[in-house]
Chains A and B, each alone.
Chain A
Amino acid sequence: MKNQSHTYTALELLEKLSTQTEAQLQWAIAECQMLPPAVVEAVPTPGAWSANQCLQHLNSYGRYYLPLLQKAIKKADKQNPQTSNTYTPGWLGGWFARTMETGPGDVPKKKMKAPANHTPAANIPSHAVIAEFIDQLELLLELLQEAAHVDLASARVPISIAPFITIKLGDTFWFLAAHIQRHVAQAKRAIDHVPNSKHTIPSL
């Protein structure tokens, strides 16, 4: 996405991220949780992540960011929501979010390497990983709704790689949603790579 397309009001930004999160939940519930563990856990090419690992990676970020988002919303100024003003990303938060976004075909624009503490283990059963992922997306949707009552620019959240640095609440939502989009796309590619993965879904 190009820079100039990010002139949203705060409410429009929240609405856009909610729609995106809703679509990811649809995928997780209608498709991902229906797949056999062998498909979710299959590694597409040596060294690449399985869908299970992509979601584990997202869960580890959710465990860090969701409680912080919750805290920031609780503490934030509810007298002055400024939801109809244009939302201006911070330079750092905006940069983080943009580097996370995917380009055409949901392919990442920039390759990155996961920090060691967010590199997934291989052995967590897929049903537990998917259940946590769904829980986190449900919570994220609730937080996006609550955030409509606070000022997205003045509330701030510490970032995971350097907790002494904080970025705007709005940038944190944007970054987190883009990060989810990126790895959900990667998980879908990993699943598509498994021979006959489409035929193993029960025909209900």
Chain B
Amino acid sequence: MQPALLQLQQLVQQRHPLQPHEWEAFADIWTPFEAKRKTILTRPGETERYLYFVTEGVQRVYFSKPDGKEATIIFTYAPSFSGVIDSLLLQKPSEYYLETLTQSSFLRAHFHQWQKLTTESSALAQFSNEAIVHALSGVMHRMAELQCYSAEEKFMQLMKRSPHVLRLIPHKYLANYLGIDATTFSKLLGTVRL
């Protein structure tokens, strides 16, 4: 099996073990896909056609207001799923951009194939549901964090959860994700330096 599929299998089996025939049908819908740094994969107005599984690199989903103000909704990196999830599952035009922040490798599955599998197999339907609820849980947690936490608390949370992103992602995107300004971000970074 190719390494990318192995990564996917590991994630799926640890969350929701599948029977061999279920896994085979599932493995069949994915095709490898690569994109260079700063490639826009989905734009507002387009309907998301693919579910992505990230095997390499960092991506972000963001909202852009006509006045140029941006909100970074989520970062995705290996091994996890990516895509504009509401546009994908509701098959409605996206309100967000999905872009790569570094050179990225994926497996991707077309929506129709994903939908067909999740209607046919109850195990895959369950896996899909759990994955969506996990994503929702992450969003709820972030809502609370954005409204209640100070800049310092948000920064320290990020340091605790995913310190590796500091060297992978330009800090302006991290500051934007946390909803703090770049100067504050730089000062907070100063406090964790050795």
Contact = CB atoms under 8 A, between A and B. Distances in A.
Do they bind each other? yes
Interface of A: 18, 22, 25, 28-30, 33-34, 36-37, 125, 127-128, 131, 134-135, 138, 141-142, 145, 199-200, 202-204
Given A36-B193, A128-B182, A200-B193, A30 B37 contact: no
B38 interface: yes
A29 B194 contact: no
Contact of A202 (B38, B172, B182, B192): B192
A84 B117 CA distance: 44
Interface in B166-194: 166-172, 182-183, 185-186, 189-190, 192-194
18 contacts: A22-B103, A29-B167, A29-B168, A29-B169, A30-B167, A33-B171, A127-B171, A127-B182, A127-B185, A128-B183, A131-B172, A135-B170, A138-B38, A138-B170, A141-B38, A200-B194, A202-B166, A202-B192
A131 B103 CA distance: 19
Closest 7 CB pairs of A and B: A127-B186, A30-B167, A134-B170, A204-B163, A202-B193, A131-B172, A138-B38
A204 B164 contact: yes
Given A36-B190, A125-B183, A25 B37 contact: yes
A134 B38 CA distance: 12
A1 to B, nearest CB: 25
Nearest to A33: B171
Contacts, number: 57
B150 to A, nearest CB: 20
A34 B167 CA distance: 7
Contacts of B190: 36-37
Nearest to A199: B194
Interface string B86-100: 000000000000000
Contact of A30 (B168, B182, B183, B185): B168
B15 interface: no
Contacts of A37: 186, 190
Interface of A is mostly: helix
Contacts of A34: 166-167, 189
Given A141-B38, A200-B193, A131 B163 contact: no
Central interface residue in A25, A127, A135, A199, by most chain B CB within 10 Å: A127
Contacts of A135: 170, 172
B192 A131 contact: no
A33 to B, nearest CB: 5
A43 B50 CA distance: 50
A134 B189 CA distance: 18
Contacts of A131: 170-172, 182
Contacts of B112: none
B36 interface: yes
Contacts of A33: 170-171
B183 A127 contact: yes
